[in-house]
Structure 1
Amino acid sequence: MNIIIIEDELKAARSLESIILELRPHSKIVTKLQSVESSVAYLSENKQPDLIFMDIQLSDGLCFEIFKSVKVSCPIIFCTAFDEYSLEAFKANSVDYVLKPFSKTDIADAFKKVDELRNFFQQGSTPDISSLLSQITPPAGKKSFLVFKNNKYITIATNDIAFFYIRNELSTIMTFDQQEYVVNQSLDQISGQLSQDQFFRLNRQYIVNFSAIKEVEHYFMRKLFVKLTIPTPEKLLINKEKAPVFLSWLENR
């Protein structure tokens, strides 16, 4: 199997290469690329590999820019530190979406999905589409969260949550009626349970509900300033790298 790694962090690229070759010793790492520009150039001039491992935030922008310039027909496994891009990733030949820091088990599971996908289409019989989609389609999202407040367990409906944020180093729910509840999970864990159609991870501190967004303004340094229907403790800013993905999310829900 010929494999390409597109990753701008050299340490992560080396770690990924080591795990791949340990799991699949007969595979060949054809090349390791670090940017959108170099990836477009390579894929335009060379034969498609059998599989690509791809980071999302590269040295010169988001990897999705690659697909605007060159057709990529092979399966892709995205390896990233941010889970808010998974909706875009699943539109781009994604077989799996692995969050950093990834483990050997994560990569082994991703290879398993690649193998199963190939087996489906190599068989003469019709593939089990529902089974296939269950592996490559993002989950619908958690319907409620159990919280503990005033010596009571309370269930908060996800639709009633305006945003999640970090307050005093704790993950906190803010409802539309401005009630706060501490959640015993990290924002990374919470984000992975939410509907990507309904919620967006603005930055490391905030996950917001689409229904809570009032308006979006341009800000300094090509950032975006997001205003919600209820007040927030600080300005909600999106960096220039994530801004296009956020605007696409707003438009394509």
Structure 2
Amino acid sequence: MNIIIVEDEIKTAKSLERIILELKPDVTITDRLQSIESTVKRLSTGPSPDLIFMDIQLADGLCFEIFKSVKVTSPVVFCTAFDEYSLEAFKNNGVDYVLKPFTKEDIADALQKVDELKNFFQKPAMPDLTELLSKLVQPAGKTSFLVFQQQKYRTVNVQDIALFYIRHDATWILCFDKQQYPISQSLDQITQSVSGRDFFRLNRQSLVAFKAIKEVEPYFLRKLYVKLVIETPEKLLVNKEKSQQFLSWMEDR
């Protein structure tokens, strides 16, 4: 199996290559690319690899520009520190979506998923990727969450939720009516299950609803301070590395 790694962080690329070779010693890492430009050139002129591990945010832009410039026939495992691009990733040959910092188990799961997709590395011709990827694309998002409070179960409609947040290592729901409920799912699980158009992961502790946002202010160290229409337990801050993606998300209506 021939694999290409597209990653602009050299240390991360080396770590990913080491893990892949530990899991599958028989594979060959044919190319290590760091930009949209170099990846487009490689895929335009060289043979298609069996698999691509690709970071989403590269030094010269989002990797989805690659798919607009060249026809990519290889399956892609996307590796990124941001979780809001999952639907876009699955629309562009994505067979898995791994969040950084990834572990050896994360990469092992991704490689196993690739192997299980009709064993298409063993076939002389590529299978119908549209059919394969249709099985992976997630629905638009959950419409409600089950919560347990005061010895009773009830459902909370997603449209009534302003914020998911972590407090004292537990995940909580904050509704527009200011009611709060603990929930058993992790914030990572919730992020994957709700609509990426309606919710944005501001940081490791909070996932906010678009319609809950009142205003956004510049903050210290080029961060953004997100104010909601209701009071929040803590200030909601977006770091400078993620601020542009957040503003683009807000504008994309």
TM-score range (shorter-chain normalised) is 0.7 to 0.9
Structure 2 distance, partners of 1:114, 1:95, is 12
Residue matched to 1:157: 157
Query: Could you tell me how far 1:245 is from its partner in structure 2?
Result: 2.3
CA distance 1:41–1:228, change in 2 (3 Å): same
Counterpart for residue 183 of structure 1:
183
CA–CA separation in structure 1 for the residues paired with 2:170 and 2:236: 18
- Does residue 71 in structure 1 map to residue 76 in structure 2? no
**1:217 counterpart residue number:** 217
Question: Identity of aligned pairs, percent?
Answer: 47
Deviation at 1:72, TM superposition (A): 4.4
Q: Deviations over 1:206-240 (max 9, x none)?
A: 00111111222333433322221111122222222
Aligned pair 1:108/2:107, yes or no?
no
Q: Residue 37 of structure 2 aligns to which amino acid in structure 1? A: V
Change in 2 beyond 3 A, CA 1:236/1:88:
farther
Question: CA separation in 2, counterparts of 1:68 and 1:3?
Answer: 17
2:15 is matched by which residue type in structure 1?
K
Question: In 1, distance between residues paired with 2:70 and 2:95?
Answer: 13
Amino acid at match of 1:143: T
- Taking the aligned partners of 1:117 and 1:199, their CA distance within structure 2 comes to 36
Q: Which runs of 5+ in 1 are unaligned?
A: none
**Using the alignment, how far apart are the partners of 1:216 and 1:48 within structure 2?**
47
Query: Residue by residue, what CA displacement relative to the aligned partner does 1:70-119 show, whole Å, maximum 9, x if unpaired?
Result: 83432322023542231343454433323433042332203444856998
Q: Show the 5 A alignment for 1:101-180.
A: 101=103, 102-113=106-117, 131-132=131-132, 134-180=134-180
Q: CA RMSD, aligned part only?
A: 3.3
Which 4+ residue blocks in structure 1 deviate beyond 6 angstroms?
A: none
- 1:15 counterpart = 2:19: yes
Task: Map 1:43-62 onto structure 2 (within 5 A).
Answer: 43-44=40-41, 47=46, 49-50=48-49, 51-56=51-56, 60=59
Alignment partners' CA distance in 2, 1:218 and 1:68: 32
Q: How many pairs were matched up?
A: 239
Check conservation: 2:225, 2:235, Cα contact below 8 A. yes
Query: Which residue matches 1:235?
Result: 235
Gap change, CA 1:91 and 1:218, over 3 Å in 2: farther
2:248 is aligned to 248
TM-score (norm 2): 0.78
Kindly provide the CA deviation profile for residues 5-36 of structure 1, in whole angstroms up to 9, marking residues without a partner as x: 124313233113433x35xx3x4211234x44
Q: Is the 8 A contact 1:113 1:135 kept in 2?
A: no
2:79 and 2:129 map into 1 onto residues whose CA distance is: 27
Aligned in 2, Cα 1:92/1:105: closer, same or farther, shift over 3 Å?
closer
Gaps of at least 5 residues in structure 2 are: none
Amino acid paired to 1:109:
K
Cα deviation, 1:100-141, whole Å, max 9, x if unaligned, reads: 33042332203444856998x857xxx696x44533423221
